[in-house]
């Protein structure tokens, strides 16, 4: 039995005898977990009882117990432009060029609805912590990250919200329209404001802020370098898209005379503070350099298949020392925000590259402790004493699971898509497959109307 001393006056909940539990290093959790003060205080082996009496018990005999899933790359606002016909069959660059003018019309109320939809979808799929990469700040959208903070708090999840940026418009050889780029001094001042107002440090942090110039083809080298300096000064993380497509690789060669990882190094980003969205097109030497630096990668399998961007070399990245987690990516290129299905996609895409021996547990590891490492969180992603009580519990009572044997394998192989219970910091945020207090039908009506309005100008 492993223990972490509980506070004597705090109430204790025993999540008893799960059907199966996903733990690191084969730690036996057959007896369940004790949760107190928002953290896991005990992990119990088969037949073991809590060391001190618990005031409440939850019988998990029909549940598969996972650490809360962690999403490391998203663009919440894109839930407003899902499955849009004109780009349904397009690769990245034309996909972006068609969508930018639509996204440029985004208003705060749209973002609020889009963020709530994305987060609710994630939560229902077993996700407890989500990263978002927001880089659109047209006039009137100066408070975009503030809007997101409120939505995260409302749903009781955790988030790493990245203050994104675009500075290289079409007039200067970039991809985005000029109206969507901002001056560097405005971006840097707002970044500092957001860190000061919202960034929490240490175990149990609910909101964290990171700095995230969008991609090599939409920002200048100056804003990359200045963001790195600012991140170092405030000890926050750095995020960007990198090595997503071969078009991007060509752009870097032509614009900067560099390959993508050389570009990353030239702006002071090749370090353990950085995580990269996608990270597909790396040479052997680049993988070794990323591993030596401890730079992390958010693997986004569905988006990579949807846009036919390529297959990330995930096993080689991990073997080189690169922390790898999963991201659903924005909802204009997935177009779902479902973390447990994303783990399935990762498993299958990586099997296509490396063979059928890639284990189910490895994919679950990317979605949990791998993603925690990507976001720099040492308090999340594992069922172990002292970790935050962020949990996802799945039932196997749907038709799709009937006849299945190994409960952990069944989650991915039979395509689980909805958690029955989700806990964040000791609080149940999903009960019986529903988010208490959230009017889903009302949300869909308002969000769909906002989506139609956005497209029609
Ligand atoms: Zn992205």
Centre of ligand 1 from the C-alpha of residue 124, in Å: 21
List pLDDT tens digits, range 99-135. Answer: 999 999 999 999 999 999 999 999 999 999 999 999 9
What single-letter DSSP state applies at residue 434?
Answer: B
- What pLDDT, on the 0 to 100 scale, is given for residue 1? 47
Centre of ligand 1 from the C-alpha of residue 100, in Å: 13
Centre of ligand 1 from the C-alpha of residue 73, in Å: 6
Centre of ligand 1 from the C-alpha of residue 158, in Å: 19
List pLDDT tens digits, range 52-107. Answer: 999 999 999 999 999 999 999 999 999 999 999 999 999 999 999 999 999 999 99
Centre of ligand 1 from the C-alpha of residue 11, in Å: 41
Helix axes 144-155, 108-124, angle to 10 degrees: 30
Categorize the per-residue pLDDT at 25 as very low, low, confident or very high, splitting at 50, 70 and 90. confident
Q: How is 299-358 classified by DSSP, letter by letter? A: E-HHHHHHTT-----HHHHHHTT--EEE----TTSS----HHHHHHHHHHHHHHHH-TTS
Centre of ligand 1 from the C-alpha of residue 248, in Å: 13
Categorize the per-residue pLDDT at 2 as very low, low, confident or very high, splitting at 50, 70 and 90. low
List pLDDT tens digits, range 334-363. Answer: 999 999 999 999 999 999 999 999 999 999
Domain ranges of the chain: 2-66+387-430, 69-374
Centre of ligand 1 from the C-alpha of residue 214, in Å: 8
Q: How is 212-226 classified by DSSP, letter by letter? A: EE--TTTS-HHHHHH
Residue 298 has phi, psi (to 5 degrees) of -95, 105
Centre of ligand 1 from the C-alpha of residue 288, in Å: 24
Centre of ligand 1 from the C-alpha of residue 217, in Å: 13
List pLDDT tens digits, range 146-156. Answer: 999 999 999 99
Centre of ligand 1 from the C-alpha of residue 374, in Å: 15
Mean pLDDT of the chain: 96
The stretch 320-336 carries a mean pLDDT of 96
Q: Which fold has domain 2-66+387-430?
A: Urease, subunit C; domain 1 (2.30.40)
Q: Which fold has domain 69-374?
A: TIM Barrel (3.20.20)
Centre of ligand 1 from the C-alpha of residue 373, in Å: 19
Termini Cα distance of the chain? 60
Residue 197 has phi, psi (to 5 degrees) of -80, -35
Phi-psi region of 57 (alpha: psi -120 to 50; beta: other; left: phi over 0): beta
CA pair distance 341, 118, nearest whole angstrom: 15
Centre of ligand 1 from the C-alpha of residue 242, in Å: 9
List pLDDT tens digits, range 367-383. Answer: 999 999 999 999 999 99
Centre of ligand 1 from the C-alpha of residue 131, in Å: 11
Q: Residue 94's beta-bridge partner residues? A: none
Centre of ligand 1 from the C-alpha of residue 353, in Å: 22
Centre of ligand 1 from the C-alpha of residue 381, in Å: 22
CA pair distance 44, 453, nearest whole angstrom: 53
């Amino acid at each position: 039995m492993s223990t972490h001393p509980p506070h004597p006056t705090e109430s204790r909940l025993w999540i008893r005898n799960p059907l199966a539990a996903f733990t690191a290093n084969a730690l036996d959790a057959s007896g369940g977990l004790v949760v107190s003060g928002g953290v896991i205080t005990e992990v119990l082996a088969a037949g073991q009882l809590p060391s001190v009496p618990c005031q409440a018990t939850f019988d998990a005999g029909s549940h598969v117990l996972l650490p809360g899933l962690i999403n490391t790359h998203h663009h919440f606002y894109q839930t407003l432009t899902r499955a849009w016909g004109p780009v349904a069959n397009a690769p990245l660059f034309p996909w972006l060029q068609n969508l930018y003018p639509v996204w440029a019309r985004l208003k705060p109320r749209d973002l609020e609805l889009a963020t709530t939809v994305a987060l609710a979808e994630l939560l229902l799929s077993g996700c407890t912590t989500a990263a978002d990469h927001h880089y659109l700040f047209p006039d009137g959208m100066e408070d975009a990250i503030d809007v997101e903070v409120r939505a995260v708090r409302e749903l009781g999840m955790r988030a790493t919200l990245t203050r994104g940026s675009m500075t290289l418009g079409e007039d200067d050889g970039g991809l985005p329209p000029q109206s969507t780029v901002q001056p560097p001094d405005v971006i840097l001042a707002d970044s500092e404001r957001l860190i000061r107002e919202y960034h929490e440090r240490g175990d149990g942090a609910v909101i964290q802020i990171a700095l995230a110039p969008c991609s090599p083809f939409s920002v200048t080298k100056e804003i990359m370098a200045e963001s790195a300096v600012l991140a170092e000064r405030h000890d926050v993380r750095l995020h960007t898209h990198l090595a997503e497509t071969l078009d991007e690789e060509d752009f870097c060669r032509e614009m900067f005379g560099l390959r993508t990882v050389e570009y990353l190094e030239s702006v002071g980003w090749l370090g353990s503070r950085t995580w990269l969205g996608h990270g597909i097109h790396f040479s052997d030497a680049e993988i070794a350099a990323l591993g030596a630096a401890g730079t992390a990668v958010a693997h986004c399998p569905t988006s990579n298949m949807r846009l036919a961007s390529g297959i990330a070399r995930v096993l080689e990245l991990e073997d080189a020392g690169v922390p790898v987690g999963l991201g659903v990516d924005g909802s204009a290129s997935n177009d779902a925000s479902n973390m447990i299905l994303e783990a399935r996609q990762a498993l299958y895409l990586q099997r296509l590259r490396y063979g059928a021996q890639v284990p189910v547990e490895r994919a679950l590891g990317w979605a949990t402790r791998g993603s925690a490492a990507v976001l720099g969180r040492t308090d999340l992603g594992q069922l172990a004493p002292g970790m935050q009580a962020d949990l996802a519990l799945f039932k196997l009572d749907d038709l799709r699971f009937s006849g299945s044997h190994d409960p952990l394998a069944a989650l991915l192989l039979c395509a689980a898509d909805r958690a029955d219970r989700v806990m964040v910091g000791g609080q149940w945020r999903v009960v019986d497959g529903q988010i208490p207090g959230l009017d889903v039908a009302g949300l869909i009506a308002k969000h769909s109307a906002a989506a139609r309005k956005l497209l029609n100008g």
